Chain A
Amino acid sequence: MEEKLLPVSQPTAGEFDRRAFFTKLGLGSLAVAAAGTAGFAYQFLSPNVLYEPSPIVNMGKPGDYDVDSVTMNTNAGVYLMHTSEGFFALSEICTHLGCLTAWNQELGIIKCPCHGSQFNRDGAVVEGPAPRPLPWLKTWVSDEGDLMVDRSIQIDPMQFLRI
């Protein structure tokens, strides 16, 4: 007895294809799972709590700083400048690749030891590969009369703190 094979239905254009549908469904769910894994990995790798030093530093009494003085606080990574126009704080971290710059009193210039960038007292780039001037940092006087600097907040240059 001859077996009769059922005719294989060929999907015509526009017709619903079950196999293609399940392939797409499978690949789609894998893509969603991969995106979820990537998001999970990114969140896991970004610490939510950091035990880094506080960005706010206490620089002491304003009276301790003479007029026309540059004070280098290497631990905080901040310069405190006292000019006739007032106080301002400058980041000590080079805008090129993050080295700690140093004030040169004789030349009246800020120099970076790593790649030779030079800045003037206002933070403007004088020479070298630094792409941006040294940022001015938010400075204020606390209720106790101490000079405070927030290293995480940059302000526009030439905003002197007058006391």
Chain B
Amino acid sequence: MPGKTDEFLKKIEHTRVWRSIFRSGGGSSTLHNALAIQQSVFLHLFSTKVRKRVISFRATWYLGALTLGTFFILVVTGVLLMLYYHPSVPQAYADMKDLQFVVSSGVFLRNLHRWSAQAMVFLIFAHMFKVFYRGAYRTPREFNWVIGIVLLLVTLLLSYTGYLLPWDQLAYWAITVGSNISADVPLVGNKIHFLLLGGHQVDANALLRFYVLHCLILPFVALLLVAVHFWRIRKDGGLYVQQSEPAKASTIAETELVKEIQ
């Protein structure tokens, strides 16, 4: 027997406003469910229907989804940290200290941002190992693997650019060392180094450039590629699941062998 809440929700589903927003309409038929996915700008990237075993924990360990989860945590905490952080030489370090000791929940948000960043890199590698050892990168999913590699590089660059922002000794020397590696590129190394830092040494220009890369350019590129990455899952035939257990294959090979001996 439907409760009062259910009745109320049903009523809302039939209002003109609801119908104008969610055009698939109310109802719980398979078609309605599929339409609800297909007609949402966010969900249409995904398959409208999947097999149960594909979304079981065993298939993927949810490593990709968890990576996206850490990315969202990083966006939310990062935007909040931006409200107190000035990317300038006199203020950057002091703002970090303020976030730790003065701002309410500042230390929580800062640490959440830092730990999520570490977790995201860890989860990406776990995700890649899972995909690699299951053979999920093979045809027709090769291109999605390549997008994944680019996403890994973008994530590492996000980690690297974020590392400078506290503007302490660790940040300064890490970026000095890291940017000097770019100077070893043949022929154009010094130019890349100069463009990256906006000067010859890690200074105010470098701090501002890294800030813009970290807060604007790289997250935007990451989000764009994540969308393509998820969309490609559907286009490449859904999430990969192993068709048969490896044990079965070995039994077949053994019977073949036995036949040959006989």
Contacts and interface: CB of A to CB of B under 8 A. Distances in A.
A22 interface: no
Interface string B193-208: 0110011110111000
B203 A52 contact: yes
B176 A97 contact: yes
B177 A98 contact: yes
A51 interface: yes
Interface range, A side: 10 to 19
B180 interface: yes
Contacts of B180: 96-98
B200 A52 contact: yes
Contacts of B203: 51-52
B181 A97 contact: yes
B108 interface: no
Interface in A33-88: 42, 45-47, 50-52
A51 B204 contact: yes
A114 interface: yes
A114 B199 contact: no
B125 interface: no
B177 A52 contact: no
B199 A99 contact: no
Nearest to B177: A97
B86 to A, nearest CB: 18
A128 to B, nearest CB: 14
Interface string A12-49: 00000000000000000000000000000010011100
Given A52-B203, A97-B176, A99-B176, A47 B198 contact: yes
Contacts of A51: 203-204
A45 B195 CA distance: 6
B212 to A, nearest CB: 11
Contacts, number: 31
Q: Is the contact region of chain B dominated by helix, strand, or loop, or is it mixed?
A: helix
Contacts of A50: 199-200, 205
B173 interface: yes
Contact of B199 (A42, A47, A96, A97): A47
Contacts of B177: 97-99, 114
B200 to A, nearest CB: 6
Contacts of A45: 195, 198
B23 to A, nearest CB: 39
A132 to B, nearest CB: 12
A34 B179 CA distance: 28
A47 B181 CA distance: 21
Nearest to B173: A99
Contacts of A114: 173, 177
A46 B201 contact: no
A74 B210 CA distance: 26
18 contacts: A45-B195, A45-B198, A46-B195, A47-B205, A50-B205, A51-B203, A52-B199, A52-B201, A97-B177, A97-B180, A97-B181, A98-B177, A98-B179, A98-B180, A99-B173, A99-B176, A114-B173, A114-B177
